[in-house]
Amino acid sequence: MSPHDDGGPLEAAIEQLRGRAVVVLTGAGISTDSGIPAYRGPNSRPSNPITVQEYMGSAEARQRYWARNHLGWRRVKWAAPNDGHLALAELERGGVVRAVITQNVDRLHEDSGSENVVDLHGRVDQIICTDCGDLLRRRTLEEMLTALNPGFVERAEAMGVVEAPDADAQIDDSLAREFHVAPCPRCGGVLKPDFVFFGENVPKPRLARALKLVEETEALLVAGTSLTVMSGLRFVRQAAKAGTPVVLVNQGPTRGDELATVRLHSGTSQTLRAFADALLPARRARYEPGADRLAAEQAIR
């Protein structure tokens, strides 16, 4: 069920959001314009992410993971919010968006100025010790790994590095085998990024908060996710079951397409900017359905 009025899907989406308190669910597709690769989508490279069982069960797997992460982290570290992130922050300040639930770990929503954010899968900029529970900044770990592995980045770049999602990278296995992993500086235990690995569950309090937000929202806006994993799809099913309008924005197909009230096959940056221009009083003059719509609609085809 995808109601399209005479203005097309963009206007149909705007009308579903207008006058409603909105909760937003975002995925990796919203961060691709910031240079961070996505697991899935039209331009995504094949990826085989590590599971929590592999990580915790094998010192060799942890060595390979940190060798790759030490290289891939650089892209996330310097990434900046794009126009999609900024548009959502403006919509929150304007009272349209109540909260953002993100499947991403890059913290770009917070960097853009969004304040009510549920980092469903955790955060890439923080490291936790699985033994003592101590936390440290990822930048601190970077300094430790650099000291333990002098010249590693230069050798890796000479051999070729392919960056992957979640601060991962693809490198030659022979290079990974020479990498030295840093232990917890407090207890010597196993360090792990403070985000949810594949095969790991979202912490119950965090999930409960997100479910409550979706339960109370007047509209659900889903942007930049294929909804392949249940952690995101559950919210769309919850909203659809309650009769809450669901506006879905994604370039490729999603598992929630049949549940969407309006489905836009488009990138997130331009579309979210169009939403902000149309829904915020201070910006509404910029949104002209006759002219400005053409640019936004081009991304929907």
Percent helix, strand and coil across the chain, each to the nearest 5: 45, 15, 40
Alpha-carbon gap, residue 224 to 256, rounded angstroms: 12
- Give the closest residue to 191 by CA, choosing from 120, 121, 119, 142: 142
User: Does residue 109 carry a catalytic annotation?
Assistant: no
Alpha-carbon gap, residue 254 to 112, rounded angstroms: 26
Q: Is residue 152 marked as binding?
A: no
Amino acid making up residue 241: K
Q: Is residue 129 marked as binding?
A: yes
Q: Is residue 132 marked as binding?
A: yes
Alpha-carbon gap, residue 107 to 97, rounded angstroms: 18
Q: Is residue 184 marked as binding?
A: yes
Strands (E), the chain: 22-26, 97-102, 117-119, 122-129, 135-137, 162-164, 168-170, 191-195, 219-223, 246-249, 262-264
Alpha-carbon gap, residue 284 to 79, rounded angstroms: 29
- Give the closest residue to 208 by CA, choosing from 238, 228, 242: 238
Find the catalytic residue in 4, 70, 121, 180.
121
Neighbours of 260 (CB within 10 A): 24
Annotated binding site for Zn(2+): 129, 132, 184, 187
Annotated binding site: 129, 132, 184, 187
Residues designated as active site: 121
